Homo-oligomer: A and B are copies of this chain.
C-alpha cells in the first residue's frame, strides 16, 4: 500500500496527500480530513510521524533526568514506565549527567520526535533549556521538585515541612550537635526548602542546637567523603541529617568503617525512602517521598493535559517520616566520649 492508494481512496491528488503527510499549510481542512480518514481506513502508516499526523499524537513522553544511576531516580523511572505503558505511552529517557549541552541536544531531539509531553526531574537545568521548553510550548511537568522563577507546574512533597519535622524528631531525641549534609551549593528549590526547614527547626528550638552544613553532590561517595572529613576534623556530631538516602548511606558506611556504631554512637537520617534505605543495615530512618504516588500523579496529570497546559502550579503529595533503626536517644556525653575513645 502506498501514497497512490491513499490519493485514490480520498479522491484528492497525490501532492495533497504528501502535503498532509508533511504537515504543510495550504491544504483545506476538508481535504486534510479526507486524507486522514483514508489513511485511517487503509491502515496506511508509511512511518511513525505520518501516523502521528493522523492521531495528532506520538504517545511518547520525554523524561529529563540528571543521573539515572541514583536509586531515587531509577525507582521512579521504573514506576513511571509501568504506569505510562498501561495508558499507551512510552517514555524516552534522557540522562543529562548534569551537562547543559546534553539538555539542549536532548530537547532538540525530543522536539523533532514530536513527543506529546515532558517530565522534568532535573532542578539545575540551564536557563537556556527552560527558555527552549517555554518557546516550544509542550505540555510539561516537574516531578519531585520544582524550578524557581519558571511557570512549569510541579508535583512534589512539601520539602520544607518534611525537613522541619525530621529535624524536630532529632531534637526530641536529645540531639544538640547536628551535621546537615546538603547536595551541591547551587540555588535549587528542593535544597533550599529542605535547608530552610532544617534551620527553622534548629533556630526555633527551646534547646540550644549547634549545627554544621556541608555541601557535596547527591552520591554515596560524596556522603562518605563529607563524613570522613568531619571525623578527621574531630568535630563529632551526635546526629547526621543527609538530604538524600544515597548521601546518608555513604555517611553511614563511613561511620561503620571507622568503627562507630549506628545508632548507639551517632544517629543518621536520610531523605527519599528510596530502595537503598531499606537495603542498608541498620535500616535508615528517612522522609518518604511516595515514589508510586509521585509517579502516578505526575504521569496521569501530564497525560490528562496533553495538548494544553496544567492549571495547578503546585500539587503536593503527602510525605511521611519513616522511623526505622538508625536513630537513638542521645544519652548525655556518652556517645561523644565513646567516639573520642575510638578516634584518639
For the complex, what is the distance from the CA of A3 to the CA of B3, rounded to whole Å? 16
Asked if A264 is an interface residue, CB under 8 A from chain B, the answer is: no
For the complex, what is the distance from the CA of A36 to the CA of B82, rounded to whole Å? 40
For the complex, what is the distance from the CA of A49 to the CA of B47, rounded to whole Å? 8
A1-26 CB contact bits vs B (8 Å, 1 = yes)?
Answer: 01100000000001101110111100
Asked if A67 is an interface residue, CB under 8 A from chain B, the answer is: yes
A262-297 CB contact bits vs B (8 Å, 1 = yes)?
Answer: 000000000000011001110000000000000000
A100 to B: closest C-beta gap in Å: 14
* Stretch from A69-77, A134-142, A194-202, A300-308 contacting the other chain: A69-77
- CB <8 Å contact, B253 and A113: no
Q: A85-B102, A95-B78 are in contact. Are A22 and B3 (CB under 8 A)?
A: yes
Q: A78-B68, A280-B279, A281-B253 are in contact. Are A46 and B18 (CB under 8 A)?
A: no
Question: Which listed residue (B14, B45, B280) contacts A280, Cβ 8 A?
Answer: B280
Asked if A92 is an interface residue, CB under 8 A from chain B, the answer is: yes
- CB <8 Å contact, B109 and A81: no
Q: Is the interface of A mostly helix, strand, loop or mixed?
A: helix
Asked if A239 is an interface residue, CB under 8 A from chain B, the answer is: no
For the complex, what is the distance from the CA of A117 to the CA of B202, rounded to whole Å? 55
For the complex, what is the distance from the CA of A68 to the CA of B69, rounded to whole Å? 10
- Inside 8 A of A42's CB, which chain B residues have their CB? none
Question: Which listed residue (B24, B74, B75, B279) contacts A2, Cβ 8 A?
Answer: B24
For the complex, what is the distance from the CA of A297 to the CA of B14, rounded to whole Å? 47
- Inside 8 A of A75's CB, which chain B residues have their CB? 69
* The 5 A-B residue pairs with the shortest CB-CB distance in the complex, in nearest-first order: A18-B18, A69-B78, A48-B112, A74-B74, A47-B49
Question: Given known contacts A51-B112, A67-B78, A279-B280, what 18 new A-B pairs fall within 8 Å (CB)?
Answer: A2-B24, A3-B24, A14-B15, A18-B22, A22-B47, A23-B47, A45-B112, A47-B49, A47-B114, A48-B114, A49-B49, A68-B74, A68-B77, A69-B75, A74-B74, A85-B105, A90-B94, A279-B279
